[in-house]
Structures are given as structure tokens and as C-alpha cells.
Structure 1
Amino acid sequence: MADIGYLVLLFYLIGGFVAVYSNCSNGWIRNDDSCYLFVDLHRKTWLQAKSDCEARNSHLVVIESKAENDFVKNQLAKLHPGTEDQFWTAGNDLVTENNWVWGNTSDIFEVSFWHPGEPNQSAGEEDCLTFYTRYRFDWNDEHCNKPMPYICEVEDYIDSGSIIG
């Protein structure tokens, strides 16, 4: 038994840290270091969707790269072909008009994939970001109080910490 303890200690000292990648929960879809849940049966306003994702220990999806944007678009195309749906993301300009940020961090967008002519404030007060099927899942600004499907994201990387020695 002492040999096993020695091997575990050696593993920690050589590795420096331990990183664990767990599987996504049932119904969630993995992409890189995140898991995504596409919620379409229970349409919610942006604020309700944000709260529901948080209750699931996640957040509305935050797009950090073209690869991630393409992944979400491809999943939406598979799951919702031919619909007119829009899907909430964490993006919004609720605090300052035309200052688009991610709702869970308040970080300004590092990348954007707006449909040409968007954001446009059509009919005023369009302050929340969606993927819009009509625009081939490009980004659209929309009224935050409309009940819509939404996408939750959770980073699936668990870092157990570093061993200093």
C-alpha cells in the first residue's frame, strides 16, 4: 500500500499540477473545454434565461473565437433547421448603448459575428444578442423581454491546483 502512496506523490511532484476533464452532463454537448446546453422547450426572456443558466451552475453562452462561433452555429443548424428561432447569448448593451459586453463578466467583445446591418436597434431598445436562424445564425440584437430559446455554457475544466515543492 505504501508503494501506491509513493507513486501518487511522485505523480504530483513530477506533473506539478493535476487537471481533470470531466464528461458533460446528460443533454449537454462538449466543444473544447466547454459544455453547451441548447434550451428550446422552455422559452424565456433574456434575464430569465440568464437566471436559468446560473441555476444550472453555468452562464449564457459567451463567444470567444471564430471556432466557438462556428461550433454553436453548426449545432443550431443541426438542431433547428428551417425555423425562425433566435437563441439568447450572454451578449448585451444594457448598461451603455452600443457598448456590447458579455453579461456574466462585463468583458467587451473580443470577436463579433454580426449579420450585416446589425446591431440596428430596430424598433428601439434591442439590447440583447441572439443567434438568428433567419440570418444563418449570424448575430442579431433583439428586445430582451421576448421569450426565446437560449444556450447555456459551462467551462468543463477543473484545476485541482498546483503543487509547489
Structure 2
Amino acid sequence: MFFRMRITSYTVFFCITYVLIFKTGFTESRCFYPWITFQKHCYMFGFNKKTWFDSKVECNKYNSYLARVETPAEDNWIIQQILALSKNTARYLWIGGNTLRKVGDWRWESTNEKVGYTFFYPLEPNSPTTERCLCYFSNRKKMLYWGDYICNGKIGFICERDN
């Protein structure tokens, strides 16, 4: 027995959707707004001000962690995002490094691995016993660097998760 299939726009839509999702790897990206994709990771920039500890909790709510910046390429990309997203607002944002276990021993909160790559402003870190958490900060209009900051200070934050 032979049957006829009527091809409608509905059928075409589902065929295209099937190909996009199951044949092209379209589902590999799980970064949806407000998350932004970069090198197999998703990032969310939170400009509402929180302490480092509260920022960590906020990131954990989204199955993520305070950003772990490990390469110059990632650092540069994050800086460009901050400049584009923050416009004229203050540019202070928490990332996941800290020296909470031992003064001067910078570690990523999500893995407890030693911070390898750094982009500290000259003379930073400058207060090792009181400023024990890591953030981006702007010393000039379009320059961003890393610095140590008081963990209970309230600034923005950057969350990261695997894509």
C-alpha cells in the first residue's frame, strides 16, 4: 500500500528543527540570556552589589561559581564584556580568587587550585591581611585590572559555568 504525505509548513518546521537540534550539535550551547558563551563556558555578569560571600551563593543558585580567569584570552574577553555591559557604571566585579585559607596564597574558590595566570594592577595585591578576595576594578575609564578587596565589600560579580 502506498500513501501520500502532505508537506506543510508545519512539517518543514519540524524537519528543520530536528536537523538543527539532533544533527548539528545545536544543543551543545546551554548559555541562554543573561548568560554569554566563551570557549565552552557560560558567563553571567551581575551588577547588583553583593559581598564576595553572597556573590558566591548567588552563583551557586545557578549551578555556577565565581569566575575562574585562567588565560589572557579569557581575561581580555571578560574585560571587553565588562566595558560593553557596564557603560558608565562603576566597574568593580568579584571573581573567584581568594586568600581566605592562607594570607598570600591565592586560590580559586570553585576548585581550590592555585591561581596561575594573573592580571593584577601594579602594586596589587596591596593589603594581604585585610583584602583577601579577588575582583576586577577600573582605575581609569577604560582600563580594568585585578585587585584584592575586602570580602565584605559590596560590588558586582561574574558567575561562570561549563557550557
- TM-score under structure 1 normalisation? 0.77
The runs of 4+ residues in structure 1 deviating greater than 6 Å are none
- In 2, the alpha carbon distance for the partners of 1:87 and 1:151 equals 6
CA RMSD of the aligned region, Å? 1.7
Aligned amino acid, residue 50 of structure 1: K
Contiguous gaps of at least 5 residues in structure 1: 1-17, 157-165
**Alignment of 1:88 onto 2:127:** no
Please, which of 117, 140, 154 is the counterpart of residue 111 of structure 1? Answer: 117
- In 1, the alpha carbon distance for the partners of 2:156 and 2:37 equals 19
Structure with the bigger RCO (C-alpha within 8 Å, sep 6+) is 1
**Alignment of 1:134 onto 2:136:** no
**Alignment of 1:30 onto 2:37:** yes
The alpha-carbon deviation at position 84 of structure 1 amounts to 3.0
Aligned amino acid, residue 129 of structure 1: L
Deviations 1:73-121 (A, max 9, x none): 0101111244333100000011100100001111001211101100000
Deviations 1:29-57 (A, max 9, x none): 111110100011x3110000001100110
- In 1, the alpha carbon distance for the partners of 2:60 and 2:32 equals 15
Aligned amino acid, residue 145 of structure 1: N
Structure with larger Rg: 2
Aligned amino acid, residue 88 of structure 1: W
- In 2, the alpha carbon distance for the partners of 1:147 and 1:125 equals 15
- TM-score under structure 2 normalisation? 0.78
Contact 1:93 1:127 in 2 (8 A): yes
Q: How many residues align?
A: 136
Q: Percent identity?
A: 32
Please, which of 146, 150, 161 is the counterpart of residue 153 of structure 2? Answer: 146
Contact 1:88 1:151 in 2 (8 A): yes
Aligned amino acid, residue 42 of structure 2: C
Aligned amino acid, residue 152 of structure 1: C
Contiguous gaps of at least 5 residues in structure 2: 1-24
